Amino acid sequence: MQKRKLGNSNLEVSAIGLGCMGMSFSYGPAKDKQEMIPVIRAAVERGVTFFDTAEVYGPFANEELVGEALTPFRGKVAIATKFGFDFTPGSDPRGMTGAPSLNSRPEHIKQAAEGSLKRLKVETIDLYYQHRVDPEVPIEDVAGAVKDLIREGKVKHFGLSEAGVKTIRRAHAVQPVTALQSEYSLWTRTPESEVIPALEELGIGFVPFSPLGKGFLTGKIDESTTFDSSDFRNIVPRFTPEARKANQALVDLLGSIAEQKHATPAQIALAWLLAQKPWIVPIPGTTKLHRLEENIGAAAVELTPDDLRHIEEAASKITVHGARYPEKLEKMTGL
């Protein structure tokens, strides 16, 4: 697979990474670790060198899974993980019960890093993101704490997730930000107005999560699809049956392009992202080998300028229905 550099940094990774969250968290019951390890290792064998996890996924279980799966490939892959939540009894970082509990105090960041290093079975975290901006802690203090970890050799690169432009600029002035991770796809295009231009100006890479719209853009979900009671999508406004019915127009557009290109809707959605900027690296997640291979195949799909114009014109006429997060989680983004 082709490689890409995240912004002006020297962090070079596969053009498509693997988001590992869904193996342990958020999309129904956690999968069996012994079934997921072969999927992660199959990704490496097929050229994927960029893996995304976080301490909150589980909590902790996903980092342990990724650490065990990637032990044979130390030095050949880059692992990104995240800090920024408290794990006090009764708190739920997804916001499904109670309020999410943020904690990006410098001393907490350093404790979190030690835990992640152990679970990932590494000496250095390749890319360490603040998972959500903590309004109680100045971003300069957060960047300073990660700068200390970089100086100590425990972290290589600093990242932010779902941060707004002002926060990105303030953090970058203290410790260069290698990558921003935020939701971006054909049905979530908010970053295009301010964030992507700022990233280009500052030389920061972009890692879109949910590049397949939490599964919707694959064409395998419709208004009648039901989710497990523990599936996060049950509380996402964009996944009400009414919103799914309205948003089908976007999937139909992807399907029509896919037919012309002998590809799948998911591959077109990922190829569209790759075509936006050479420093964009999407991280689709999956628990299935055949989906992994489908997603990786998107790197070989070429969209011409005419294809991109056609997608842009058609997509501009489609209104996406429903917010991408419940209100209390939406308030934690773009700060």
Q: Which residues are catalytic?
A: 57
Quick check: 174 and 147 in contact, CB under 8 A? yes
For the chain, the helix, strand and coil percentages under 3-state DSSP, each to the nearest 5: 45, 15, 40
**Angle between helix 33-45 and 289-297 (nearest 10):** 30
Count of residues in the chain: 335
| Per-residue tokens: 157 | 């690169």
Quick check: 225 and 244 in contact, CB under 8 A? yes
How far out from the chain centre does Cα 164 lie?
Answer: 16
Q: Residue 157's beta-bridge partner residues?
A: 127
**Angle between helix 241-261 and 265-276 (nearest 10):** 80
- 12-14 and 125-130: which strand pairing? unpaired
CA distances from 39 to 86, 212, 235, 271, 293 (A): 30, 19, 28, 22, 10
Nearest Cα neighbor of 102 from 181, 165, 162, 26 is 162
What distance, in Å, lies between the first and last C-alpha atoms of the chain?
34
How far out from the chain centre does Cα 261 lie?
Answer: 26
- Residues 20 and 53: their CA atoms lie apart, in Å, by 6
